[in-house]
């Protein structure tokens, strides 16, 4: 019964990673190449073992295949809990009659393997290196095999989490769009009614004060709904064309003339990149607006905008001299509705919208320390 439950857990874990139904992944192929080089052997493989079969999902030095679990060498030592190193498999009673050793399937002599253990503690397979001549591993090579096995699981987990995050973001975007749409019409009616009442009031200062507060709240809610709709809509089909970032910045600065009225803004040389001009302008305007909002007490905004090129990518950087963002918060602020300073006006949607736009363009976005204190918001985009 224990074996059955173990098999069920392992099969469930393997199914989550989806590597048995998709083409060999380049990152896993690269990793088995490294394993073979480190062990100085001609062959290496990542084996995932189900209840009935062994699947070679990435190989070096030979073609991948599927065999029955009964024929698998790795299945025999799947729960060893430590590296298994066999200098000559013909001399080891566990493997001497195995078809991978006898010549029926292969002629393995040297064999070394380490288990692949998921974060939940489930052993799903092995990272295996082998040769057709007897040999052994040094202590350093053995430790490298252990480390590389852990990296296999890291890569599987990273792809799984990326897929789950994408699905979650898509669901969140759909939800945000539906809720925003449903709220927009009744809120518009409430806001219009409040404003009409405000126009009719004459002399009642207390009532006028309450109405203005209500109107302000309705306007802020309308702004939040508009932000949610933008978040739900961006990042879809892009209307690509040349985007002159110098012109984009000029337009953004003009639109933000009021919050930037006492700001110092320095703009360097900026490139022209292929992309969606409307969506990328929204990114620049949002990042510049943030730089204008987050300032040190008593200090006017100081903003520097510049670019640099690395390989086939351009990096646009917008730096301020504000209070900065703690390093452990720099990823969280890109989540929808996440905010650092509740006293600064905003919906918490802007940075998450920027990330959706930049990632839709095949780029990256992040935050870093500014040279003179404050924060540098940056994004990278491919040239074409």
CATH number for the domain that contains residue 319 = 3.30.565.10
pLDDT of residue 2: 33
* Residue 261 and residue 375 in one domain: yes
Under 8 Å between Cβ of 228 and 220: no
pLDDT of residue 285: 87
By CB atoms closer than 10 A (0-12, 13-18, 19+), residue 359 is middle
- CATH classification of the domain holding 104: 3.30.450.40
pLDDT of residue 353: 81
* Residue 143 and residue 243 in one domain: no
Reported as a single tens digit per residue, the pLDDT across 76-96 is 999 898 999 999 999 999 999
Range of the structural domain that residue 16 is part of: 2-160
pLDDT of residue 157: 92
- Given a cut of 60, is residue 231 above it in pLDDT? no
* Residue 11 and residue 144 in one domain: yes
C-alpha distances out from residue 37 to 85, 142, 151, Å: 17, 13, 16
Whether 219 is covered by a domain: the verdict is: no
Whether 232 is covered by a domain: the verdict is: no
- Given a cut of 90, is residue 99 above it in pLDDT? yes
Whether 192 is covered by a domain: the verdict is: no
How remote is the C-alpha of 118 from its chain's centroid? 20
Residue 4 binned pLDDT confidence (cut-offs 50, 70, 90): very low
Whether 361 is covered by a domain: the verdict is: yes
What average pLDDT does the segment 27-48 reach? 96
pLDDT of residue 151: 94
pTM, to two decimals: 0.53
Whether 306 is covered by a domain: the verdict is: yes
* Residue 102 and residue 8 in one domain: yes
- Given a cut of 70, is residue 255 above it in pLDDT? yes
What average pLDDT does the segment 149-173 reach? 81
* Residue 141 and residue 243 in one domain: no
Whether 171 is covered by a domain: the verdict is: no
Single out the residue of 342, 351, 318 nearest to residue 230, CA to CA.
351
Which one has a higher pLDDT value, 298 or 275? 275
Which one has a higher pLDDT value, 211 or 132? 132
* Residue 295 and residue 155 in one domain: no
Which one has a higher pLDDT value, 68 or 232? 68
Residue 346 binned pLDDT confidence (cut-offs 50, 70, 90): very low
Q: Which of 160, 184, 211 is the last residue of a domain?
A: 160
* Residue 12 and residue 112 in one domain: yes
Whether 177 is covered by a domain: the verdict is: no
* Residue 14 and residue 135 in one domain: yes
**What percentage of the chain has pLDDT greater than the value 70?**
84
* Residue 8 and residue 150 in one domain: yes
* Residue 28 and residue 128 in one domain: yes
* Residue 156 and residue 264 in one domain: no
Number of structural domains the chain divides into: 2
Query: What sign does the CA torsion over 147, 153, 154, 156 have?
Result: positive
Q: How far apart are the first and last CA of the chain?
A: 57
Strand order in the sheet with 264-267: 264-267, 302-310, 313-319, 375-382, 364-369
Q: Which of 135, 160, 185 is the last residue of a domain?
A: 160
C-alpha distances out from residue 38 to 1, 117, 144, 239, Å: 39, 21, 7, 47
What average pLDDT does the segment 63-78 reach? 94
pLDDT of residue 5: 44
pLDDT of residue 94: 95
Reported as a single tens digit per residue, the pLDDT across 295-304 is 777 788 889 9
pLDDT of residue 82: 92
Whether 80 is covered by a domain: the verdict is: yes
* Residue 107 and residue 19 in one domain: yes
pLDDT of residue 216: 72
Q: Which of 127, 160, 193 is the last residue of a domain?
A: 160
pLDDT of residue 253: 86
Residue 152 binned pLDDT confidence (cut-offs 50, 70, 90): very high
């Amino acid at each position: 019964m224990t074996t059955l439950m173990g098999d069920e857990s392992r099969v469930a874990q393997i199914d989550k990673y989806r590597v048995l139904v998709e083409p060999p992944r380049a990152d896993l192929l690269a990793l088995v190449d490294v394993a073979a080089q480190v062990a100085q052997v001609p062959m290496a493989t990542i084996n995932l073992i189900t209840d009935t079969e062994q699947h070679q999902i990435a190989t070096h030095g030979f073609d991948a295949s599927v065999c029955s679990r009964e024929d698998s060498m790795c299945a025999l030592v799947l729960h060893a809990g430590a590296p298994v190193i066999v200098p000559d498999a013909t001399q080891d009673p566990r493997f001497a009659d195995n078809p991978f050793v006898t010549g029926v399937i292969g002629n393995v002599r040297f064999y070394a393997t380490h288990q692949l253990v998921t974060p939940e503690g489930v052993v799903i397979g092995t990272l295996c290196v082998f040769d057709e001549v007897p040999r052994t591993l040094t202590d350093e090579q053995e430790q490298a095999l252990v480390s590389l096995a852990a990296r296999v699981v890291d890569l599987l987990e990273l792809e799984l989490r990326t897929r789950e995050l994408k699905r979650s973001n898509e669901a969140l975007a759909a939800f945000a769009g539906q809720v925003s749409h449903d709220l927009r019409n009744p809120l518009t009616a409430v806001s219009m009614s409040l404003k009409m009442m405000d126009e009719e009031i004459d002399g009642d200062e207390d009532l006028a004060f309450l109405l203005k507060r209500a109107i302000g709240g309705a306007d802020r809610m309308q702004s939040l709904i508009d932000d949610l709709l933008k978040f739900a809509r961006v990042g879809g089909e892009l209307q690509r064309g040349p985007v002159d970032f110098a012109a984009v910045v000029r337009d953004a600065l003009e639109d933000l003339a009021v919050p930037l009225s006492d700001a110092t803004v320095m703009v360097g040389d900026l490139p022209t990149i292929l992309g969606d001009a409307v969506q990328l302008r929204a990114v620049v305007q949002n990042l510049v607006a943030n730089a204008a909002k987050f300032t040190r007490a008593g200090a006017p905004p100081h903003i520097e905008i510049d670019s640099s090129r690395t390989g086939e990518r351009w990096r646009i950087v917008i730096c301020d001299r504000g209070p900065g963002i703690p390093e452990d918060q720099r990823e969280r602020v890109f989540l929808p509705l996440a905010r650092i300073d509740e006293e600064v006006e905003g919906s918490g949607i802007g940075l998450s919208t920027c990330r959706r736009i930049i990632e839709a363009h095949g780029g990256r976005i992040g935050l870093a320390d500014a040279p003179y204190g404050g924060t540098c918001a940056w994004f990278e985009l491919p040239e074409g």
